[in-house]
Amino acid sequence: MNATSSTYDEKQYSTLNLGPTHPATHGIFQNILTMDGEMIVDSVSTVGYIHRAFEKLAEHRPYNQITPITDRLNYCSSPINNMGWHMTVEKLIGAEIPKRAQYMRVIIMELSRIADHIVCDTVIAVDTGAMTGFLHLFQYREWIYEIFEEICGARLTTNIGRIGGMERDFSPKAWEKLDHFLKNFPTGLREFQKLVDRNRIFMDRTINVGGITVDMALDYGFTGPNLRAAGVDYDVRVANPYSSYEDFEFDIPVGTNGDTYDRYMVRMEEMWQSLRIIEQAVKNIPDGAYHADLPEFYLPEKQDVYNKMEALIYHFKIVMGETAVPKGEVYHSVEGGNGELGFYLVSDGGRQPFRLHFRRPCFIYYQAYPDMIRGGMLSDAILTMSSMNVIAGELDA
């Protein structure tokens, strides 16, 4: 630049590196921002900081060993990922799942949707300065984890269910805990909503911040709560029902602006709808078997393995991954915590998938982030990110 010319009327941009270990980004994402004072002019995202090669790993694992990998996609709602994977394989082998198992799956999936949305919504509140809500609602989230623990023995990365159904029936203790949760959670959620929903500061910080239009959202491949906040009523549970979702009555909350407040409110309302679904499922759950009659894929009872020849053979075959799987390609998607979580599975009949591609909603919609924060303030960009619920594990696979 010529030193003699006046620099007063020329814009000076500064570069700010946000991430990858910035405390406010809730995950490891790097954004190199071009700033005009406090305004964001442009940003470049770098991802891949926890790329763990899920797709390559899946090509080297037998079908039942892929479930633990799916846990670690969106770890805030692992059970949904597990169920999505089981249903994909069940579609491939053409298995019919008993109604009871389907309802059990619905209960688990909706519980984990609540757990997922609790994390996202409380974190939005934390980023606007409301730590209390976080501490309050996490207590209820702990109860959900206790239910999971009672059902499958793990809290976060659940590895819940099996190909063909559930690994065991819900214990009486699990029902009791579920009941306790259903009775008490509405109070807690209402308290949280009273604290945050109409809070002046919260509304000022979130309304008309980080908005996205319908066209842009569709162009960028948004799904899930983020797309619904923009105003499209697309929900995989309704569009392509799986696991008996057609039996339940629930609403799809839809926003209008696609801004941070709408995303927050859509998630809030989805928690209420999930509660509604769980209540219906608990009320109407039929008796019967909790797994399909699939000896080639479903691990037999341990007692039978010791006493029955057939069970022993099947146990060996399943554990060693020797069961024949039909050739073909299948796509199945579930409504994950963040949107359409799809599994594209190509099988060549071998013990492990020939190719497994995950449609990871986070990865797809996070690329809109630079467009969403352009022209806004830095502090709003943080809020936009947390309201999009970007989960690093799902993003980087």
Partner 1 sequence: MSTTAIDIHPSYQPEGLEGQGFFATSLDKVVGLARANSLWPLPFATSCCGIEFMATMASHYDLARFGSERLSFSPRQADLLMVMGTISKKMGPILRQVYEQMAEPKWVLSMGACASSGGIFDTYSVLQGIDRIIPVDVYIPGCPPRPEQVLDGILQIQKLAESEERRRRESPEYKALLAQYGIE
Partner 2 sequence: MSELLEIVKNKLQDKFGDAVLASEMHYDFPVFILKKELVKEALKFLKEDAELNFHFLTTMCGLHHPENPAESEFGLMYQLHNMPKNWRIRIKTFMSRENLDMLTVTDVWKTAGWMERQEFDFFGFNFVGHPNLKRILNMDEMNYFPMRKEYPLEDMQRDDKNDKMFGR
- Could you give the string, one character per residue 80-109, with x where binding to partner 2 holds by CB under 8 A and - elsewhere? -----------xx-----------------
Give the number of residues in contact with partner 1, rule: CB under 8 A.
35
Least gap, CB of 318 to partner 2 (angstroms): 22
Partner residues linked to 42 by β-bridges? 34
Q: By CB under 8 A, which span of 67-75, 84-92, 187-195, 215-223 interacts with partner 1?
A: 67-75
Alpha carbon distance 180, 246 (integer Å): 26
Q: Which one of partner 2, partner 1, none interacts with residue 134, CB within 5 to 8 A by kind?
A: partner 1
Binding segment (CB under 8 A) for partner 2, from list 34-42, 181-189, 306-314, 340-348:
340-348
287 CB burial (10 A radius; 0-12, 13-18, 19+): exposed
The span of 83-91, 137-145, 207-215, 310-318 binding partner 1 (CB under 8 A) equals: 137-145
Per CB under 8 A, 363 contacts partner 2: yes
DSSP 315-330: HHHHHHT------EEE
Query: How many CB atoms neighbour CB 306 within 10 A?
Result: 10
Strand 328-335 to strand 30-36: parallel, antiparallel, or no bridges (unpaired)? unpaired
- Cα radius of gyration rounded to whole Å, the chain: 23
Among 36, 219, 301, 310, binds partner 2 (CB under 8 A): 219
When asked if residue 119 is in the footprint of partner 1 (CB under 8 A), the reply is: yes
Q: How far is CA 388 from CA 332, 365, 381, in A?
A: 24, 9, 11
DSSP state for residue 207 in the 8-state scheme: T
Q: Does 330 bind partner 2 (CB under 8 A)?
A: yes
* Residues near 322 by beta carbon (within 8 Å), at least 6 away in sequence: 316, 351
User: Which residue, 51 or 355, has its beta carbon nearer to partner 1?
Assistant: 51
Q: Choosing among partner 1, partner 2, none, which partner's interface includes residue 221 (Cβ < 5 to 8 Å by kind)?
A: partner 2
Interacting positions 7-66 with partner 1 (CB under 8 A) = 20-23, 27-28, 48-53, 56-57
Angstrom distance (rounded) from CA 383 to CA 210: 8
Site for partner 1 in 140-169 (CB under 8 A): 141-142, 145, 155-157
Residue with tokens 């570069």: 15
With beta carbons less than 8 A apart as the criterion, state whether 158 and 146 touch.
Answer: no
Contact 59, 53 (CB under 8 A): no
253, with CB counted inside 10 A (0-12, 13-18, 19+), is: buried
230 binds, among partner 1, partner 2, none (CB under 5 to 8 A by kind): none
How far CA 40 is from CA of 130, 187, 226, 274, in Å, comes to 25, 40, 22, 37
Instruction: Decide: is 57 part of the binding site for partner 2 (CB under 8 A).
Output: yes
Task: Report the partner that residue 282 touches, choosing among partner 2, partner 1, none (CB closer than 5 to 8 A by kind).
Answer: none
Q: Is residue 357 within the footprint of partner 2 (CB under 8 A)?
A: yes
**Closest C-alpha among 366, 374, 364, 365 to residue 43:** 374
Q: Show the site string, 69-108: x = touches partner 1 by CB under 8 A, - = not.
A: x-xx--xx--------------------------------
For residue 355, the partner it binds in partner 2, partner 1, none, with Cβ less than 5 to 8 A by kind, is partner 2
Q: Which amino acid is at 95?
A: A
The residues near 252 (Cβ < 8 Å, ≥ 6 apart) are 228, 233, 235, 238, 273
Q: Which is nearer to partner 2, 143 or 245 (CB)?
A: 245
- Binding part of the chain for partner 2, among 63-71, 124-132, 176-184, 338-346 by CB under 8 A, reads 338-346
- Beta partners for residue 34, in sequence order: 15, 42
* Least distance to partner 1, CB of residue 155, Å: 7
Verify binding: residue 145, partner 2, rule CB under 8 A: no
Instruction: Examine residue 180 and tell whether it contacts partner 1 (CB under 8 A).
Output: no
When CB distances are held under 5 to 8 angstroms depending on the partner's kind, the choice from partner 2, partner 1, none that residue 210 binds is none
Residue with tokens 């300065």: 129
* Interface contacts to partner 1, rule CB under 8 A: 20-23, 27-28, 48-53, 56-57, 68-69, 71-72, 75-76, 119, 134-136, 138-139, 141-142, 145, 155-157, 392-393, 396
* Interface contacts to partner 2, rule CB under 8 A: 47-48, 51, 53, 55-57, 59-60, 91-92, 216, 218-221, 232, 234, 239-240, 328-331, 333, 340, 342, 344, 346, 355, 357, 359, 363-364, 366-368, 396-397
